[in-house]
Amino acid sequence: MEITFLGTSSGVPTRNRNVSSIALRLPQRSEVWLFDCGEGTQHQLLRSEIRTSQLRRIFITHLHGDHIYGLMGLLASCGLAGSAQAVDIYGPEGLGEYIRACCKYSYLSFGNRVQVHLVSPGLVYEDNEFSVSCELLKHRVPAYGYRITEKDKPGPFNVDKAQSLGIPPGPIYAKLKQGQIVTLADGRIIRGMELCGETELGRKVAYCTDTIFSESSIDLALGADVLIHEATFAHQDAGMAFESLHSTSTMAAQVALAAGVKQLIMTHFSPRYTPANGLDLKDLLEEARAIFPNTKLAYDFFSYEVPRNRSR
Q: Which residues belong to the active site?
A: 66
Q: How far apart are CA 242 and CA 194, in angstroms?
A: 53
Q: How far apart are CA 279 and CA 249, in angstroms?
A: 13
Provide the 3-class DSSP secondary structure of residue 44.
Answer: helix
Cβ count within 10 A of residue 284: 27
Residues with Cβ within 8 Å of residue 28, at least 6 apart in sequence = 129
Q: How far apart are CA 33 and CA 55, in angstroms?
A: 6
Phi and psi torsions of 90, nearest 5° = -120, 140
Q: How far apart are CA 301 and CA 3, in angstroms?
A: 10
Phi and psi torsions of 274, nearest 5° = -135, 155
Rg (CA), the chain: 22
Q: How far apart are CA 183 and CA 165, in angstroms?
A: 13
Contact 137, 144 (CB under 8 A): yes
- 88 exposure class (CB count in 10 Å sphere: 0-12, 13-18, 19+): middle
Q: How far apart are CA 171 and CA 165, in angstroms?
A: 16
Q: Partners of 21 in the beta sheet?
A: 7
